Amino acid sequence: MEEPASAVSLTVPASEPQAAVLVLHGGRADGLEAPPPWNLPGARMRPFVRMIGRATAGQGVVLGTVRYRHRGWNGDRQDAARDARRALAELADRVGDVPVVLVGHSMGGRAALRVAGHPRVRGVVGLAPWCPAAEPVAHLADSRIVLVHGDRDRTTDPRASQEFVRRARAGGAEARMIPVPGGDHAMLRRPGFWHRLTTRLVTGLLDPTPRPPRAAAR
């Protein structure tokens, strides 16, 4: 399939970029068709982009969304991760060699974690991420990772996120998980909490301190 003209859509540009946030929405396990122009997983992330944009206004932070060529991860093809790598390369061409924080939901969380070892990635916030048992962690040494998962998620398993964090920390990552009591996969329960917490985590990761920001679900 012919690649789209752009792997990343810049939602909030900056005249003098100092950092960037890339958002990766969810998808499917399998699906070679192109995502429709308007899709629910993408729409679900727009409130996060708006709130992060308000919190970082005037700070030289570029906000963008990764554009997928296919709706699914598609097994060994790992299409979403490939698109995330393409987006990081294109972002560097467009705004320069700035540090990047990735925010990924579900399949997008898996893609973000796959590319977290990229030298420009400062940190990852994974929202209800898809973390299969065999998901690699060796590339995450020294990475800064925060996973946020609702305890009522019936699509991706919060216990799998906890296990991923355990393995990542054993491999040298600065990783932690924040549970969301009552939270579901679509983040429709307690949406304001999801948005505020994610924004706080992103702004903390944009600050080059040695450890991930600490936050507690309340």
Which domain CATH number covers 109?
Answer: 3.40.50.1820
Domains contained in the chain, number = 1
pLDDT of residue 5: 59
Beta strands in 57-180 (DSSP E): 61-66, 100-105, 121-127, 144-150, 174-180
Per-residue pLDDT of the chain (218 residues; tens, 9 = 90+): 445 558 889 887 777 899 999 999 999 999 999 988 888 999 999 999 999 999 999 999 999 999 999 999 999 999 999 999 999 999 999 999 999 999 999 999 999 999 999 999 999 999 999 999 999 999 999 999 999 999 999 999 999 999 999 999 999 999 999 999 999 999 999 999 999 999 999 999 998 655 544 444 44
DSSP element (H, E) containing 24: strand 19-24
pLDDT of residue 210: 54
- Structural domain contains residue 213: no
CA separation, residue 173 to residues 95, 143, 149, 213 (Å): 27, 5, 19, 14
Domain of 194, in residue numbers:
8-206
- Structural domain contains residue 217: no
- Structural domain contains residue 215: no
Pairing of strands 8-12, 19-24: unpaired
pLDDT of residue 216: 43
- Phi/psi class of residue 78: alpha, beta or left (left: φ > 0; alpha: ψ in -120 to 50)? left
- Structural domain contains residue 72: yes
CA separation, residue 149 to residues 49, 93, 217 (Å): 19, 33, 10
Q: Say which residue the tokens 């996120």 belong to.
A: 161
pLDDT of residue 14: 72
Q: For the sheet with 19-24, list strands across it.
A: 8-12, 61-66, 19-24, 100-105, 121-127, 144-150, 174-180
Task: Assess contact for 61 and 21: CB atoms under 8 A.
Answer: yes
For 56, list phi and psi in degrees, rounded to 5.
-110, 10
Compute the C-alpha angle 86/148/29, nearest 5°: 50
- Structural domain contains residue 211: no
- Structural domain contains residue 96: yes
Q: Count the helices and strands in the chain (H runs, E runs).
A: 6, 7
- Structural domain contains residue 2: no
Task: Assess contact for 166 and 134: CB atoms under 8 A.
Answer: no
Compute the C-alpha angle 29/30/34, nearest 5°: 115
- Structural domain contains residue 216: no
